[in-house]
Structure 1
Amino acid sequence: MNNRRNWLKQIGLGTIGLGFCQFETFANPTKEFILPDFDDSPVLLRSNENPYGPSPLARAAMTKTVNTSNRYGWKLWPELITLIAKKNNVADNNITLGAGSTEILDLVLQYTASKKGNFIMAETTFDYWTAPYEKLRLKKIMVPLTKDKKHDLPAMLKAIDSETKMIYICNPNNPTGTICNREELVSFINEASKKAIVFVDEAYIDFTKEQSLSDLVIENKNIIITKTFSKMYGLAGARVGYAIAHSSTIDEINTLKSTPNMSVSVVSTAAAMASLNDEDFIQKVYVTNQEVKKYTIDQLIQLNLTCIPSYSNFVYFSLENYKKDYFKQLEDHNIQGTRIYEENGKWTRITIGTLKDMQRFIAALK
């Protein structure tokens, strides 16, 4: 622990004084960190990235650690695990690291796919990771969302059969931005985990005031939770994620990796450690996201577009009443959005960028 304290002091994590400033200045403290803001630069509103970048402390940590990238992070990886465990009120042996939550998804795939069967998920959810499951001949069972775009937990429970290996819950859900009632979700997990692995993706939980389900893993071996530094912490390109599970489950998952935790670079590890110490930045991201999201939803409603209440850093809305060619409008204004997720209602998703980004987005729609 003394090594970590000394390292934190060296890069200024414990004593840096940030003062009062506008948030975008706070997120970009010196010009050397700012990309040129040309009028013709695309507005990136497709991948739910944090538009304010890594925190100032994370940037300082990455800059400092670049010079030690010729060495493996044998000392740093355990320190990051300790910080993560403390944040989630679990023990170190309840955590394993991955290069983003994508690697965790792949590891859970390997863990659950040792025997053929099926897996269950919502019909509209984060599904880019499912192709390898199907190639391994695991049948995908899709359970439609409720009318208000939430997970239909009772229906998902009924869909479980003797062949079910895993149930995936993205909470808050991507792309809808909806969230499960905690009491109902805990009840569902307690029942479903008697029959299969319940995998809860909490990539966006930091954009809410909801409590993580991490406390459930202490006693239950059939719950795996994944979290990421890609979203709230602005480290999507740095690739840092982790799984939280029962210690015996973590041990089994780790056997699927030649060297557990080693896929996270030294620079990314340092950034993640620093990010966990930058509460001021995280609070500013949270508040600003809420404000800009409200502006965006209000403007979309004024355009007579139906929006789903969002517990995330994106908005799910219907193009059913939109008379123009939405995707042509985005293209003409150099804005990168995403796709239609549900043809019935023409539902799409847009990431919440900076206020300037969203003003440009709304202007493009008008």
Structure 2
Amino acid sequence: MTKGPRFTPLVDRLPAAVPFVGPETQERERGRPFVARLGANESVFGPSPRAREAMANEAAETWKYGDSLSFDLRTELAAGLGIAPENVLVGEGIDGLLGYLVRLTVAEGDNVVTSLGAYPTFNYHVTGYGGELIKVPYRDDCEDPDALLAAAREHDAKLVYIANPDNPMGSWHSAERIQAMIEAVPDGTLLVLDEAYLEFAPEGTAPAVDPDDPRVIRMRTFSKAYGLAGARVGYAIGAAPLIEAFNKVRNHFGMARISQAGALAAYRDAAYLAEVQEKVAAGRNRIAAIAQANGLSTLPSAANFVAVDCGADGDFARRVLAELIARDIFVRMPFAAPQDRCIRVSVGTEPELDAFEAALPQALAAARG
């Protein structure tokens, strides 16, 4: 009998699972599409018209590989940040960059610290390279910098991860709090600062970029505020030796030309970004109003989604989620208690939020039995 491939012992131990079941998969299983796509924290307002035009123009050139150095985009980002291009790396979204970072720093058995219920794709990469995850609980629905640092010291962690603003709760810390965390990172530990939602946060959320600080690497993306989730463009900001090390493991032709062109044009269109930020702020307010009209509360959010507190435990929130999905409203929820008492609703178009408004009271009634 012919044998198949011989997997590594690590791969043999891993489950064949992905962090998120996408809406398309759910639609195929359900046999019908969603009316409102409010679960993936995408920007329903789409990319800048300039970005769409740039990508359309680049389509004819897509027979070429993309620039392996993403030179134009890195140069533009560096100029905007006031740093050198050597401190910037472009990659296939934050997810791809996190995978490369874990590959660079985490060997089997190495400890990595994160928050219980924080971004699961980071955990997926750590587990995939054999790292050991140390998880600390949220505090007051926020990631807890003090607890994260204490765990990093106790377990001699290679990496410690925090998102600011946070996903899935939408909470955030001030620039001063995050800078204090950077200053307190233990020797030999690298702080992974995920700033995917930064463009939606209040002024004073992000500390100033110090490109030469070897204690922190910052991750940002074009998937959220810039409306380019499907293009897969993210970037990392860090000390030049760390950024250079990515060249040892990254996919050098991982970036499509169309994606590079779209991100460059989007970054240059500050006026459109401001329009999206205004629409997201209005959308957060509407979600909060819908929740309040149904006797529910919401958490303050610095992201493009709102955590809606269903007022009971995780089992009840899961019933609410299931009833919304049954009514063709795609939403998600935090995975860990006590944050799983909430559902997480992304900002949508007015018709999508109309559909959510109509479905929520029915879902709550059905979940209550």
1:35 corresponds in structure 2 to none
Deviations 1:290-325 (A, max 9, x none): 011111112202212121100000011222357994
Letter in 2 for 1:206: E
Q: Are 1:303 and 2:294 an aligned pair?
A: yes
Q: Give the whole-Å Cα distance in 1 for the aligned partners of 2:49 and 2:228.
A: 12
CA 1:114 to 1:341, structure 2 compared with 1: closer, same or farther past 3 Å? closer
Q: From 333, 336, 360, give the equivalent of 2:330.
A: 336
Q: Give the whole-Å Cα distance in 2 for the aligned partners of 1:194 and 1:215.
A: 21
Letter in 2 for 1:329: E
Letter in 2 for 1:234: G
Q: Give the whole-Å Cα distance in 2 for the aligned partners of 1:229 and 1:258.
A: 19
Alignment of 1:80-95 (within 5 A): 80-95=73-88
CA 1:193 to 1:279, structure 2 compared with 1: closer, same or farther past 3 Å? farther
Q: From 169, 175, 181, give the equivalent of 1:176.
A: 169
Q: Are 1:356 and 2:341 an aligned pair?
A: no
CA contact (8 A) 1:216 1:223 kept: no
Alignment of 1:178-257 (within 5 A): 178-192=171-185, 194-210=187-203, 213=206, 215-257=208-250
Deviations 1:329-365 (A, max 9, x none): 3234311111353444622211111122112101111
Gaps in structure 1 of 5+ consecutive residues: 1-38
Q: Give the whole-Å Cα distance in 1 for the aligned partners of 2:281 and 2:102.
A: 34
Alignment of 1:108-127 (within 5 A): 108-114=101-107, 116-127=109-120
Q: From 253, 257, 269, give the equivalent of 1:266.
A: 257
Deviations 1:97-152 (A, max 9, x none): 111111101011112114742111111211123123124332111111112x1121
1:17 corresponds in structure 2 to none
Structure 1 SS opposite 2:184: helix
CA contact (8 A) 1:217 1:223 kept: no
CA 1:113 to 1:91, structure 2 compared with 1: closer, same or farther past 3 Å? same
CA contact (8 A) 1:213 1:225 kept: no
2:266 corresponds in structure 1 to 275
Letter in 1 for 2:240: S
Greater shift, 163-172 or 296-305, is seen at: 296-305
Greater shift, 224-233 or 111-120, is seen at: 111-120
Deviation at 1:73, TM superposition (A): 3.2
Letter in 1 for 2:257: V
Q: Give the whole-Å Cα distance in 2 for the aligned partners of 1:135 and 1:57.
A: 38
Deviation at 1:328, TM superposition (A): 4.1
Structure 2 SS opposite 1:264: coil
Q: Give the whole-Å Cα distance in 2 for the aligned partners of 1:304 and 1:357.
A: 21
Q: Give the whole-Å Cα distance in 1 for the aligned partners of 2:33 and 2:130.
A: 45
- Percent same amino acid at aligned positions? 27
**TM-score, normalising length from structure 1?**
0.83
CA 1:162 to 1:271, structure 2 compared with 1: closer, same or farther past 3 Å? same
Alignment of 1:62-141 (within 5 A): 62-74=55-67, 77-114=70-107, 116-141=109-134
Q: Give the whole-Å Cα distance in 2 for the aligned partners of 1:240 and 1:323.
A: 33
What is the total number of aligned residue pairs between the two structures?
Answer: 325
1:30 corresponds in structure 2 to none
CA 1:75 to 1:112, structure 2 compared with 1: closer, same or farther past 3 Å? closer
Letter in 2 for 1:363: A
Structure 2 SS opposite 1:62: helix
2:24 corresponds in structure 1 to none
Q: Give the whole-Å Cα distance in 1 for the aligned partners of 2:303 and 2:359.
A: 23
CA contact (8 A) 1:88 1:212 kept: no
Deviation at 1:216, TM superposition (A): 4.1
Q: Are 1:316 and 2:311 an aligned pair?
A: no
CA 1:323 to 1:245, structure 2 compared with 1: closer, same or farther past 3 Å? closer
Q: Are 1:293 and 2:288 an aligned pair?
A: no
CA contact (8 A) 2:91 2:235 kept: yes
Q: Which has the higher helix share?
A: 2
CA 1:172 to 1:299, structure 2 compared with 1: closer, same or farther past 3 Å? same
Deviation at 1:76, TM superposition (A): 8.4
Deviation at 1:223, TM superposition (A): 1.0
Gaps in structure 2 of 5+ consecutive residues: 1-31, 362-369
Q: Give the whole-Å Cα distance in 2 for the aligned partners of 1:173 and 1:358.
A: 23
CA contact (8 A) 1:124 1:342 kept: yes
Deviations 1:49-72 (A, max 9, x none): 000111100110011000011123
Structure 2 SS opposite 1:349: strand
CA 1:78 to 1:271, structure 2 compared with 1: closer, same or farther past 3 Å? same
Q: Give the whole-Å Cα distance in 2 for the aligned partners of 1:70 and 1:137.
A: 37
